[in-house]
Amino acid sequence: MNIASKQPVQNARETLAVLMGSACVIPVLTIERLEDAVPLAKALVAGGVRVLEVTLRTPVAIEAATAIMAEVPEATVGIGTILNADDLARAEALGAKFGISPGATPDLLKAAAASGLPFAPGIATASELMQALAYGFNLVKFFPAEQSGGIKALRALAGPFPDARFCPTGGIGETNAASWLGEPNVVAVGGSWLCPAADIRAGNWAGITAICNRTMKSLKPA
């Protein structure tokens, strides 16, 4: 990429770093029913969790994200499970504040670098991280975090890649989130423990708010 083509991704990565750094924890939302979207977002916000990742894993994902953006202005909505350039374009057209992928192809990295949307590609290996860095992405999603070697793997990557920053996701929950956030190259962590699927199905919004409150209080020292 030439210097001109790197400028959008540089601006976007700075925005993403600030956004994730302020969030600390980013819930990964898989919304099966459209009617759950707004009350779920309100429950998360009430618990102090305002940066939300709505995954493209269900048929109602785009509608759900649209509803949250319209009815819960306190939330900062991003789109996750971006698998290709078409998904990226959908997220950008929607007005998402950021995008996240579980992995990355050269085509997706190229499209993301050109789009200017704050974007975190997914990586699990040194080679994948090198590819992301080559396109200008120094803040990446480490996924699946625990299954890919956990904190020891992350520390190993810190040696050859001192400028890389991570949002680990996968196997992270209330019991180990603080340990991950204690790592100097971790900006935020992601996970679904803040909004268990059973609580969403049951409409237990108060329970979700309680989990968020408890989590955010416990992570403040980190």
Residues noted as catalytic = 53, 141
CA angle 162, 215, 34 (to 5 degrees): 100
Question: HSE on the CB side for 62, CA within 13 Å?
Answer: 11
**Cβ atoms within 10 A of the Cβ of 82, count?**
30
Report helix, strand or coil for 76: strand
8 A C-beta contact, residue 177 and residue 184: no
**E strand or H helix at 218:** helix 205-219
Tokens standing for 24? 């600390």
- Collapse the DSSP code of 220 into the 3-class scheme (helix H, G, I; strand E, B; otherwise coil) and give the result: coil
